C-alpha cells in the first residue's frame, strides 16, 4: 500500500511539474507560413563564460563560432535572398532562452544550432544531428544533459526555466510531452545534414537522433542541433579545430540548407518562376576520410598570421596554415596521392616559391 501511495504521489507531482513546465515554456507557434525560405538562424553553441566541452587543445565555443560564421558566409554568398541571423557573432555568453527568442523575434524559417560532442572516453567519434523529441537511449540523454547544462551559467535560470534540472532524468520526461509540430520538417533538414557530413566530408555516421534540448524546444520553426564531432577524440579534435576541417563542415551544413531550401521553395511556389537553382560559387570540398593521409605543399613559415591568405597567395589553390613551434606554416593544395602533390609542387615553385616542398597530414596533424 505504501509503495502504491508513493507511486501515485510521484505521478501527481510529475503531472503538476508538466503543467508548470507547459506554462513556463509555452510558445506562440509561428510555422513556416511563407512560400520560400527567406531567413535562417545560425546558432554557435556556448560562448563567453560557458566554454562548452574542452579538448586537449581547443574549446567547443571557439570551434562552433568559426563553423557558424563560415556557414552563414556560404549562405550569404550563394543565397542572396536569405537573411542570416546569428545568435552570437563573437565570444559572448547567450542564454538558451535568448537564443530561441532571437529566432522567434526574427520569425526565422529555420534554426540550426552547431555544437561539438564529448565523451569521458577518447574512443567515440563521428557526426550526429538531433531534433527535439524523446531520447531513445542513455547516450542521447547524456548529450542533451551536456548541452542543457549551459543554463547553470545563467543568472536568471530559475525565472526562465523554473525548477528544470539539466542533470535530472525526470526533467526530460517532462520535455518529451512537448513534441514540436515542425518535427517532420526538422527531421528532413537533419537527414540532409547527416547525408552531407557522411558522403561529402567522410565523417562517421552516428545518425539522426532525438532528445530534449531546451534551445530547440523554445524555437517556433523547424530546428536541428548538429554535433559536428567529438572534441574528446584527439584525431577528431584535430579535424574540427583545423581551418580545413571547419571549411568542410560549414560547407556540408550549407549544402544541406541549400537542398532543403530548394525542395521547400519548389514545393510551395505557386506563381512566378516555377523554380530556380541556387548558384554555388564555392568549390566542392573533397571527401575527407578521417584515417586517410593527405598531402599539401608548404610555402613558407611566418612569425605572424597573414591577414588575407587567399589574396596574399593569389593564384594558389586551397591555401591554409598550421601552427608549429610558434610559427605559422602556410600551405597550398590538397591531394590524396604523393604523385599529384609532387606535380603541383613543381607548379608552385615555378610561381616563385622556390623552397616549397611536399608535406603530409593525417587527421589534421602533420606526420612527416
d(CA 334, CA 151): 41
Among 16-30, 69-83, 92-106, 167-181, which is the least confidently predicted range? 16-30
In tens, the pLDDT along 88-103 reads 999 999 987 888 889 8
Q: What are phi and psi of 290, to 5 degrees?
A: -55, -25
CB 226 within 8 A of CB 129: yes
CA distance 86 to 214: 18
Q: What is the mean pLDDT of residues 159-164?
A: 61
Domain 293-366 sits in CATH at: 3.30.70.1070
The domains of the chain are located at 13-268, 293-366
Per-chain mean pLDDT for the chain: 77
Residue 3 carries which DSSP code? H
What is the arithmetic mean of pLDDT over 243-258? 91
| Residue 172, pLDDT above cutoff 60 | no
**Number of neighbours of residue 39 by Cβ within 10 angstroms:** 18
Specify the higher pLDDT residue, 305 or 162: 305
Instruction: Give Cβ neighbours of residue 137 (< 8 Å, ≥ 6 apart).
Output: none
Confidence tier at 150 by pLDDT (50, 70, 90): low
Pairing of strands 83-86, 127-132: unpaired
pLDDT, mean of residues 8-34 = 40
Residue 28 CA: distances (Å) to CA of 53, 85, 204, 220, 241: 32, 20, 37, 7, 38
Specify which of 100-109, 140-149, 210-219 reaches the highest per-range mean pLDDT. 100-109
pTM: predicted TM-score of the whole model, two decimal places: 0.65
C-alpha cell at 256: 544541406
Task: Select from 318, 275, 282, 285 the least CA-distant residue to 299.
Answer: 318
Q: Quote the CATH superfamily of domain 13-268.
A: Zn-dependent exopeptidases (3.40.630.40)
Of the listed ranges 176-190, 269-283, 337-351, the least confidently predicted one is 269-283
CB 190 within 8 A of CB 76: no
Question: Does position 214 have pLDDT exceeding 80, yes or no?
Answer: no
DSSP, res 47: B
Better-scored residue on pLDDT, 35 or 283 = 35
Q: How confident is the model at residue 24 (pLDDT cuts 50, 70, 90)?
A: very low
**What is the side-by-side order of every strand in the sheet holding 293-302?**
320-324, 327-335, 293-302, 357-362, 365-366
Amino acid at each position: 500500500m505504501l509503495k502504491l501511495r508513493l507511486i501515485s504521489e510521484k505521478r501527481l507531482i510529475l503531472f503538476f511539474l508538466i503543467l508548470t513546465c507547459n506554462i513556463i515554456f509555452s510558445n506562440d507557434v509561428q510555422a513556416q507560413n511563407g512560400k520560400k525560405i527567406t531567413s535562417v538562424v545560425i546558432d554557435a553553441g556556448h560562448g563567453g563564460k560557458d566554454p562548452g566541452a574542452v579538448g586537449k587543445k581547443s574549446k567547443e565555443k571557439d570551434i562552433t563560432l568559426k563553423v557558424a560564421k563560415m556557414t552563414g558566409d556560404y549562405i550569404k554568398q550563394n543565397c542572396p535572398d536569405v537573411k542570416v541571423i546569428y545568435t552570437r557573432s563573437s565570444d559572448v555568453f547567450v542564454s538558451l532562452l535568448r537564443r530561441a527568442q532571437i529566432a522567434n523575434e526574427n520569425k526565422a524559417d529555420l534554426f540550426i544550432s552547431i555544437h561539438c560532442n564529448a565523451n569521458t572516453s577518447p574512443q567515440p567519434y563521428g557526426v550526429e544531428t538531433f531534433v527535439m523529441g524523446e531520447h531513445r537511449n542513455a547516450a542521447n540523454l547524456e548529450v542533451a544533459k551536456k548541452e542543457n547544462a549551459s543554463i547553470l551559467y545563467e543568472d536568471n535560470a530559475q525565472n526562465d526555466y523554473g525548477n528544470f534540472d539539466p542533470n535530472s532524468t525526470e526533467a526530460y520526461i517532462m520535455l518529451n510531452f512537448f513534441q514540436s509540430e515542425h518535427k517532420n520538417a526538422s527531421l528532413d533538414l537533419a537527414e540532409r545534414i547527416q547525408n552531407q557530413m557522411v558522403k561529402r566530408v567522410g565523417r562517421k555516421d552516428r545518425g539522426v537522433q532525438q532528445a530534449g534540448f531546451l534551445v530547440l524546444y523554445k524555437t517556433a520553426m523547424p530546428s536541428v542541433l548538429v554535433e559536428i564531432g567529438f572534441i574528446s577524440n584527439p584525431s577528431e579534435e584535430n579535424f574540427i579545430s583545423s581551418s580545413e576541417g571547419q571549411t568542410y563542415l560549414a560547407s556540408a551544413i550549407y549544402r544541406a540548407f541549400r537542398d532543403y531550401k530548394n525542395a521547400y521553395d519548389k514545393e510551395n511556389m505557386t506563381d512566378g518562376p516555377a523554380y530556380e537553382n541556387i548558384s554555388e560559387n564555392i568549390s566542392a570540398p573533397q571527401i575527407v576520410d578521417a584515417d586517410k593521409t593527405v598531402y599539401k605543399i608548404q610555402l613558407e613559415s611566418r612569425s605572424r598570421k597573414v591577414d588575407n591568405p587567399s589574396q596574399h597567395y593569389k593564384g594558389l589553390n586551397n591555401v591554409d596554415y598550421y601552427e608549429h613551434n610558434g610559427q605559422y606554416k602556410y600551405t597550398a593544395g590538397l591531394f590524396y596521392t604523393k604523385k599529384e602533390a609532387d606535380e603541383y609542387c613543381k607548379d608552385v615553385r615555378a610561381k616563385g616559391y622556390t623552397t616549397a616542398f611536399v608535406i603530409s597530414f593525417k587527421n589534421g596533424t602533420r606526420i612527416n
